[in-house]
Amino acid sequence: MTHVSDIPTVFLVEHDLDLRGVVAEGLRFDGMNVVEFHRSAQALAAIAEGARPAVLVIAPEGDGLITCEHVGQVRASSPRTQIILVLEPGGDPEIPWGSHVLVKPFKPSKLSRFIRLAVAKPALRSALQTLYRRAHSAPARAAL
State yes or no: cis peptide before 105, omega within 30 of 0.
yes
The Cα 25–Cα 82 span in angstroms is 20
Q: What is the pLDDT along the chain (144 residues), one digit of tens a residue?
A: 334 456 889 999 988 899 899 999 999 999 999 999 988 889 989 999 999 999 999 876 554 456 667 777 888 888 889 988 888 787 666 777 777 888 888 888 889 988 988 888 766 666 666 766 677 665 655 554
Nearest Cα residue to 40 out of 96, 1, 80, 2: 96
**SS3 assignment, position 50:** coil
pTM, two decimals, is 0.75
Q: Which long-range contacts (CB under 8 A, 24 or more apart) does 108-111 make?
A: 108/22, 108/23, 108/25, 108/26, 108/27, 108/29, 108/30, 109/26, 109/30, 111/23, 111/26, 111/27, 111/57, 111/84
Kindly report, residue by residue over 94-116, the tens digit of the pLDDT: 777 777 888 888 888 889 988 98
Amino acid code (one letter) for 110: K
